[in-house]
Amino acid sequence: MTDLMDRTENLVKKAKALGADEAIAKTSFSRRTQVRFSNNEVDITKVWNDYLTEVTLTWQKRVVATEIRNFAEAEKRVEDLFGLAKVSQPNPFYGGVASGSFSYPESGADKRLAYLEEPTAYVEAAMEAAGEEVPRDLNAGGALFANYEDVYLVSSEGPMGRDARSAIELSIRAFSEKEASGHGVSCSSTLDEFDPVMAGRKAGEIAWLARSPVAGEEGSYEVVFDPLIAGSLLGRIAQMASAFFVMIRFSVFVDKLGQMVAPEYVTLLDNAAPYSVENRLFDDEGVPISEKAIINCGVLKTYLHNTSTAKQFNTETTGNAGLVVPQPWNIEMEPGSMGREEMFAEVNKGLYLTNTWYTRFQNFVTGDFSTIPRDGAFVLEDGEIVGSIKDIRISDNVLRMLKGIKSLTEERQRIHWWESQFPTLSPYMLVEDVRITRPR
């Protein structure tokens, strides 16, 4: 594979020879497998092989980029790209890319995920585990996804690195009735920590508990958020910490650096840790990945930056490039000290929500939004589940909800699935005074 590194480096040299001020090339070769299933059967199995080189170059503050999938054309495409830069326009906000020489640790990627043997066996294991919790009429569906990717990055400003990234995840939704379902996920960077049985068991347990739901009632509730729904919401919150989102004012964090945005026991990190399905050694500028607190003890500490956005905010890159849009890699909410049962026992009258989808904002600056819980939703009384409900909506404000976090569990779960764009490590969260609405 050093051949791929050489080819990647040659493109950077070519761009510089043409006159580019800066050039970054990243070549990736990914092998991905997916099994999709529904109605307790496999629907389709897919394998993708993708070869891709992304080249970004700058010339007199003009930023241009291309994707090359045919290496035979690569040099010509770089020439065309430099031509595009010459007729393009300067970006006065542009602040450069990272420079220097970095060293990276060895990747711990799991090579077995490049060509997953008998992928349907994992699906069957998950469905069987769900079936043990749903003694009759189980209907399960979902997806298994495995990825192994070789990445070669070369920057004219010094960084040069090789990475291998791997991931395996299974998402299963189990139905015990047409309107009673549960969802479970298992995600890992390695096969060893992947547990499809756990995902299936959780989906089945919730589906069975959710039988015979009745319409929920409007009002304000104390709500226990399962790690699955907490993960979806935390991902959206972390995305709004991207400096680019802040600059275009699609963020609740505009002008809030240094302010308390959550109680002091809330700490939210970005950390592309080796366990994560978004594991990586460096960002798209070649800056080594590091753990950083977005919210530390309730205080908004930093936006997520690449070198250019950092310069605009008079700070340092956080290693979250995206060359245009910085992004979170893997969100971790620091655990609390409470056990799950202990948290449930805190609730005299409230709700336990297990999943959501369709989170939409009226106004990203104010944070007014709504989202629709799906799968098991339960009424809690004196810490016990006393009923299954449906047809409700959280119609609230994300800043208000952050400030309303009452407690967090010690237990955390890894969350990533179709609805959650960014992977998270999420505890159960107890939030007070959550506004619930329903159709009339």
Q: Does 38 bind another protein (CB under 8 A)?
A: yes
Q: Does 60 bind another protein (CB under 8 A)?
A: no
Residue with tokens 């956005």: 309
Judged by CB under 8 A, the residue of 16, 21, 65, 313 near another protein is 65
Please answer whether residues 126 and 197 qualify as being in contact, where contact means their C-beta atoms are separated by less than 8 angstroms.
Answer: yes
Min. distance of Cβ 185 from another protein in angstroms?
Answer: 10
How large is the angle between the packed helices 74-87 and 2-18, nearest 10 degrees?
30
Q: Which stretch binds another protein (CB under 8 A): 48-56, 284-292, 298-306, 423-431?
A: 48-56
Q: Which stretch binds another protein (CB under 8 A): 18-26, 74-82, 194-202, 262-270?
A: 74-82
- Beta-carbon neighbour count of residue 197 at 10 Å? 18
Burial category of 65 from C-beta neighbours within 10 Å (exposed 0-12, middle 13-18, buried 19 and up): middle
Instruction: Please list every residue from 350 through 389 that binds another protein, using CB under 8 A.
Output: 357-366, 368-372, 374
Nearer to another protein (CB atom), residue 266 or residue 392: 392
Q: Does 3 bind another protein (CB under 8 A)?
A: no
Dist. CA 367–CA 428, nearest whole Å: 22
Nearer to another protein (CB atom), residue 246 or residue 338: 246
Q: Does 34 bind another protein (CB under 8 A)?
A: yes
Q: Could you tell me if residue 316 is left (phi over 0), alpha (psi between -120 and 50 degrees) or otherwise beta?
A: beta
Q: Which stretch binds another protein (CB under 8 A): 159-167, 266-274, 381-389, 431-439?
A: 431-439
Beta bridge partners of 177: 180
Min. distance of Cβ 382 from another protein in angstroms?
Answer: 29
Q: Is the torsion defined by CA of 244, 246, 248, 251 positive or negative?
A: positive
Dist. CA 163–CA 112, nearest whole Å: 16
Angle formed at CA 91 by CA 88 and CA 94, multiple of 5 degrees: 130
Judged by CB under 8 A, the residue of 8, 27, 171, 420 near another protein is 171
Q: Does 440 bind another protein (CB under 8 A)?
A: yes
Min. distance of Cβ 340 from another protein in angstroms?
Answer: 24
Task: Output phi, psi for 8, to 5 deg.
Answer: -65, -45
- Biggest alpha carbon distance in the chain? 71
Residue positions counted in the chain: 440
Judged by CB under 8 A, the residue of 48, 100, 219, 259 near another protein is 48
Q: Which residues contact 138 (CB under 8 A, 6 or more apart)?
A: 40, 127, 130, 131, 174, 175, 176, 204, 207
Token readout for 292 is: 């950083």
Instruction: Please list every residue from 253 through 292 that binds another protein, using CB under 8 A.
Output: none
Judged by CB under 8 A, the residue of 6, 43, 137, 217 near another protein is 43
Task: Enumerate the H helices of 371-413 as residue ranges.
Answer: 398-403
Q: Residues in contact with another protein, total (CB under 8 A)? A: 82
Instruction: Please list every residue from 104 through 123 that binds another protein, using CB under 8 A.
Output: 118, 120
Judged by CB under 8 A, the residue of 6, 132, 137, 179 near another protein is 179
Q: Which stretch binds another protein (CB under 8 A): 165-173, 206-214, 266-274, 337-345?
A: 165-173
Q: Does 418 bind another protein (CB under 8 A)?
A: yes
Judged by CB under 8 A, the residue of 175, 208, 225, 378 near another protein is 175
